[in-house]
Structure 1
């Protein structure tokens, strides 16, 4: 994308300061009366009409071509997606997909992301769905638009469409006549529903898909440009800071508002029930006033938090739904050996590098919010309910945020901004949480317990597998106003929607709980808790991180009991040929099995197909351990990936490498600190993450391309396999079976000393 395109995109996010834009949408005719199916993903259920079920990806829910691609008479091509850029590079990849099928250079396309006033509604950007859903939609929509334009030109020229060529928005005939896309669009109406079959290009001719186009979001980030919502400035913008309760369910009794109003730069103190904020002309003035306001406020005691020592025991007590997600039976050999194990995971926080931030403007009866939410449409609906405003009077525009994979405070700070902006009519208001607020009011990833047992026959084959997990939904995204934290503090508070389990095959806490291995007798139960003692919600990969860790750790234990090499044991139980290919490739690139290693070094292997639906990842790692401190270094990793048709090879490598590093941090070091009084992980010293000194020495990612195959989401696919491989490598290095996350640090040091 050109610099000009970037400027257009940024200007669009600011235009409402002095103007207005009205965008109308046509929905599928009669959709309310049509028979529908429900597709559950990481957000709310999506209803799909039967007449669109055969369409590709998000065309099912946004079937009109001009929801995705618009071309004006001057030939300007604008492409829209309802997905957002989270640092994964999807904006670049989606642009490549559209450019390929439109037969255009990417730099000639203006590419715009999620905006409730302009883009298609694609729900959440989550669960590695972006390329699979939005990419598939854009691939087909772009091909169909190109086909319609070429057909229109052919009819105008009086020739067969097959003799025409299209390149960079110009259609050419063999005799030299030509027509621009802008001219051709005058001959065809793009406001039409997509068709189930598209004139897709032969993958062998791809010139943009499959190339490592430089990411369009990087230049500004590395040069200090305006890149994030935290950087956003507007004329006349005010700054606000909020005062949040010290503990859950504490209610505000009184404040020192008169004192605060006398402080320099303070414009207003906003209070609605227990929602409290100060507005100032300058940001530092707002910070100083917030500190004084917090110090002068009095609250009720609130409620106690759980005892950290009993968290995993408590999970079994609060699980009230026992959901059988797999129960299969087949003939198998006689069991000669049975093993069992229990694994645990503690609460973790998102730890976004940039605290959550939003800018809101209430003007002429309409609310506009610039937000780094991963779901602008669900947020729009929640804000409209909270503000008692019509949905068409609330607009949410995505601007990338500085750090998040999952449900952090982005939606909640947007609610704060909207509530405060409503009190400051006509003036944009910027709200940013403080670091301690970001961490103590996060939606933590839930704690988990998993238990597994399995039996082997005399040949070393698994004959039965019994698996149980205890946790929650792992997804409390915005489905009503009550899911917005500030809405719960209002004078007339909103109540959060009830927590419900996410259905398989996507799953929530039970994501990837069903192994891909061939197991003749399989029983898997999700012991679901609809309530959790801490605020929890989605974190990258949801329950897959823990479930794959458990499965892959236990596969190594079974391999050892069978006397079979761990990689050979996996292949013995794997029938999926694409899975076998990634397992064999990762092993070969690593040089598995390794010769005897030096002291305190170990190697490990793991595999998973994310959700059993998306990218295949196998990984082999080598670790080193410092026995005196329990520090673990991931020395080396070789990962093999099959994500279907590759759009941007470098982008996939980025995500797998980043996932390896993030999963290593979770698996080895991260755990939320709290006691019965309050959350104690309020800064980086009280919540340790992987340091630069412990970053993997080398990570190599090997891609298996599948030209023409469906896109398979890869962004979250390495989280679980990395955890399993690390656990297995630590056993190899120490001789200790480590089953309680996090694995490194003081707990490991004590275990080694035993």
Structure 2
């Protein structure tokens, strides 16, 4: 039975929302070199999680009328280059040229629902789903073409969007093979995949096309979007987290400021719609001066924050308990250390933006959310609308991994669009709103205790980690959106979100016979959610700092000490590689090199980082001179893309480690701009060298978060080597080195 579904060109183009026209660069008279037939091997492993709810080929790809292929992914482009990687795997399995594959990302009703673009899961879930769907499609195309050309499948060849008979030279493009239908069959095992040695694209450094647009300043981001007749809006944020609107006087607004279209007041939600953007800025400032709010309770004192977090924590939960941590070797002492990380911002360079238009039936939303389907569910619940009445299109934002304010800006626009139908309404957040209402990465505390045996190896290990939630992303609970908590009938959060991210990597990836890990959860004073790498940045900073301390106690080289506690050949390889990369480095007075290792989630990619710093002994000023990374993500899909991610992750982690801390006083967030919340600038950026260990026969893992965790610890260890001062509470500043 041929499993095909009929799709007209008009219906297909209406569904995807745009027309893509391609022009051949080569004359049709030129002969295209036919590729050699590459052997295939059956894949019998587990299919990706993304295929559980989208198991058919036509959920992942469609053949266009000219024989090119449109590939669908529910993931969002965050700067990780997922569009390019997906194009590579699809072109590889279908024997297409790269420019014969278009990739359509994240649009409700068009692409699969793949949840959030998070957790370094885009490659293992989305790209691999496309790989298996494309390989299945190839097999079906051969089967159908065999019947149409009256040629055995083994006598057919696929290339450049065509199926050709090697005997008769007859050829059909993919669209002719399908006759206007699509492949409506399940992806089932075994899946016939191209052998790795036959790859043309996968594993190569294919550059992203959107980089050139960014450099040219072309329209790439949601902040650039403009629609005919579009109007602008700002939302007046409450005075504090728990503040409520007492009264507002907008009677003189239209007289004071031109271009006012509408003011929307719903409970403590206040929005103003204007003809131009700056009018909205001035209108928001006017309404702030003419409104009265209740006072929000004060935050704990900044200087006693960590004591406060401990005091409000719940009873500890056992995460891991192996062996007996009381079996301390005779005559041996235990070593203890306590580490802490403050609240951190996402710190997106471009403040959040959301655009919405209600056409009287469908609410259309454009957003840089990392999860458009979950966000749609949250907004539908907030507005009490049927899910099918919301259409969400993903547009890239300025980029920051995690749950940022993008969803809240989209919710703002959605509320205002319903009150003013027929127009695209653009809500642009201010820098102050972005900094003060961001769902921060939570502050954390780690207390570690370990003992060494007579051979200088770790005998016992105990971890206690104090943490808030690491994900309260929008989904079925509408209160995950800020606005829901301030509408006329407010809804408060029902749950704590994903707590497991707090103890991610809290159990060291080392061979330790006796280990205990406990998690102490608290409901902290500041708004929190997902920040890149979740809790593993803090847990690895703590563990790998402590590993250096233990190595010193044992009289061992820090890398050799780590190798003595590892049996995993891939872990050993990234450490050995970093040794090689740094072996010729010379140190001057006041300089030091530090190292750190981690396997992300203890189950996925491997990374060892090294950092070289110099410290002015008089001022305590820290200069980050160079960073290195040796990384193993299994099979590499795009070498250029993965190196970009590793470099970017290291630089962001370095900024966290040396610069960043959310500050607050009384009931105000005081780090409300870049002066009060400094981040790395161009002058702070060191040379970065990345070595990738390609393992094409291993599973492909994501790399978006793998370099974050070891980078902070490598810098801390380098600071200790350079200054003799161990800093336990981030960020590492001159004051702490001199103190």
TM-score, normalization: structure 2?
A: 0.92
Kindly indicate whether the alpha-carbon contact (under 8 Å) linking 2:65 and 2:180 is maintained by their aligned counterparts in 1: no
Q: Deviations over 1:404-447 (max 9, x none)?
A: 21111100111000000101111110001111000011111100
Residue 318 (structure 1) aligned to one of 309, 312, 327: 312
| Structure 1 residue 310: Cα displacement | 1.7
TM-superposed deviation, 1:619? 1.5
CA contact (8 A) 2:67 2:162 kept: no
Provide the residue aligned with 1:149 in structure 2: 141
Q: CA deviation at 1:357?
A: 0.2
Alpha-carbon distance change, 147 to 231 in structure 1, aligned in 2, over 3 angstroms? same
2:734 to 717, 720, 745: 745
Is residue 526 of structure 1 aligned with residue 519 of structure 2?
yes
With over 3 angstroms needed to count, the CA separation of the structure-2 counterparts of 1:669 and 1:70, relative to structure 1, is same
Residues 674/406 of structure 1: CA separation in 2 closer, same or farther (3 Å cut): same
**1:76 Cα deviation from its structure 2 partner:** 3.7
* SS at 2:501 equivalent: coil
Map residues 16-35 of structure 1 onto 2, 5 A cutoff: none
Give the stretch that moved more between structures: 115-124 or 212-221. Answer: 212-221
| Residues 549-585 of structure 1: per-residue CA shift (max 9 Å, x gap) | 0110000111111111001000000111000001100
Q: Which runs of 5+ in 2 are unaligned?
A: 1-11, 20-43
Is 1:286 the counterpart of 2:292 in the alignment?
Answer: no
Q: Secondary structure at the match of 1:210?
A: coil
Give secondary structure in 1 for the equivalent of 2:393: strand
Is the alpha carbon distance of 1:54 and 1:212 closer, same or farther for their aligned partners in structure 2, counting shifts above 3 Å? closer
Q: CA offset at residue 53 of structure 1?
A: 10
CA distance, structure 1, for counterparts of residue 553 and residue 505 of structure 2: 24
Displacement after TM superposition at 1:187 (Å): 9.1
Partner of 2:340: 344
CA distance in 1, matches of 2:221, 2:250: 32
Distance 2:49 2:196 in 1: 19
8 Å Cα contact 1:14/1:234 also seen in 2: no
Do 1:261 and 1:268's aligned partners in 2 also have CA atoms closer than 8 Å? no
* Counterparts in 2 of 1:11 and 1:430: CA distance versus 1, 3 Å: farther
SS of the residue aligned with 1:499? Answer: coil
Give the equivalent residue in structure 2 for 1:452: 448
**Correspondent of 1:555 among 544, 547, 554:** 547
In the alignment, structure 1 residue 219 sits paired with structure 2 residue 204: no
Offset from partner CA, 1:156-201 (integer Å, 9 cap, x none): 3333323321112111111211121111223976112210221100
Asked if the contact 2:473/2:497 (under 8 Å) is kept, the reply is no
For 1:59-458, what aligned pairs fall within 5 Å after superposition? Answer: 59-175=51-167, 176-186=169-179, 190-262=183-255, 263-329=257-323, 334=329, 336-458=332-454
Give the structure 2 partner of residue 613 of structure 1. 603
- Which one is further off, 150-159 or 478-487? 150-159
In the TM superposition, residue 740 of structure 1 has moved relative to its aligned partner by 0.6
Task: Write out per-residue CA displacement over residues 526-570 of structure 1, whole angstroms, 9 at most, x where no aligned residue.
Answer: 1112x2211011110010000000110000111111111001000
Q: What residue number does 2:708 align with?
A: 719
Q: Is the 8 A contact 1:668 1:745 kept in 2?
A: no
Does the CA-based 8 Å contact 1:337-1:457 persist in structure 2? no
* Structure 1 residue aligned with 2:681: 691
- For the 8 Å contact 2:92–2:199, the answer to whether it is kept is yes
Offset at 1:288? 1.2
Report what 1:635 is aligned to.
625
Q: Give the equivalent residue in structure 1 for 2:31.
A: none
Q: Deviations over 1:132-172 (max 9, x none)?
A: 11111111111111111112112333333233211121111
Number of residue pairs matched?
A: 699
- Secondary structure of residue in 2 paired with 1:258: coil
Greater shift in the superposed pair: 322-331 or 282-291: 322-331
Q: Is the 8 A contact 1:567 1:605 kept in 2?
A: yes
Q: Is the 8 A contact 1:65 1:193 kept in 2?
A: yes
Normalised to the residue count of structure 1, the TM-score between the two structures is: 0.90
Is the CA contact 1:633–1:695 (under 8 Å) kept in the aligned structure 2? no
Q: Tell me the SS of whatever aligns to 2:520.
A: strand
Please, what is the CA RMSD of the aligned residues?
2.0
Alpha carbons 2:62, 2:182 under 8 Å: kept? no
Separation in structure 1 between the aligned mates of residue 360 and residue 98 of structure 2, nearest angstrom: 37
Q: Is the 8 A contact 1:349 1:439 kept in 2?
A: yes
* Structure 2 counterpart SS, 1:509: helix
Report the Cα distance in structure 2 between the residues aligned to 1:628 and 1:253, rounded to whole angstroms. Answer: 53
Check 1:330–1:296 CA distance in 2 against 1; reply closer, same or farther (3 A cut).
Answer: closer
Q: Is the 8 A contact 2:63 2:182 kept in 1?
A: no
SS at match of 2:566: coil
Cα distance in 1 between the residues matched to 2:165 and 2:13: 37
Q: Write out the 4+ residue segments of structure 1 that deviate beyond 6 Å after TM superposition.
A: 9-16, 330-333
Name which of structure 1's ranges 119-128 and 321-330 shifts more when overlaid on structure 2: 321-330
Separation in 2, partners of 1:147, 1:216: 30
How far does the alpha carbon of each residue in 1:11-33 deviate from its partner, in whole angstroms, 9 at most, with x for none? 988769xxxxxxxxxxxxxxxxx
Q: What does residue 20 of structure 1 align with?
A: none
Deviations 1:487-511, CA, capped at 9 Å, x for gaps: 1100011222310444xxxx41111
SS at match of 1:326: strand
Residues in 2 aligned to 1:664 and 1:632: alpha-carbon distance in whole angstroms: 12
Q: Is the 8 A contact 2:247 2:292 kept in 1?
A: yes
Answer yes or no: is the 8 Å Cα contact 2:470–2:497 preserved in 1: no
Superposed displacement of residue 745, structure 1: 3.3
Contact 1:247-1:302 within 8 A present in 2 as well: yes
Aligned to 1:25: none
> Secondary structure at the residue paired with 1:145?
helix
Give the secondary structure class of the aligned counterpart of 2:665.
Answer: coil
Partner residue in 2 for 1:600: 590
2: distance between equivalents of 1:677 and 1:74? 61
Moved more, 232-241 or 683-692: 683-692
CA distance in 1, matches of 2:232, 2:563: 58
How much has 1:330 moved relative to structure 2?
7.6
Partner SS for 1:257: coil
Runs of at least 5 residues in structure 1 that lack an aligned partner in the other structure:
1-8, 17-51
Q: 1:558 to 1:671 in 2, by over 3 A?
A: same
Instruction: Tell me if 1:623 matches 2:613.
Output: yes
Query: For each residue in 1:246-291, what CA deviation from the matched residue of structure 2 results, as whole angstroms up to 9, or x when unmatched?
Result: 2111111122211113321110111101110111001111111111
Match of 1:493 among 486, 490, 495: 490
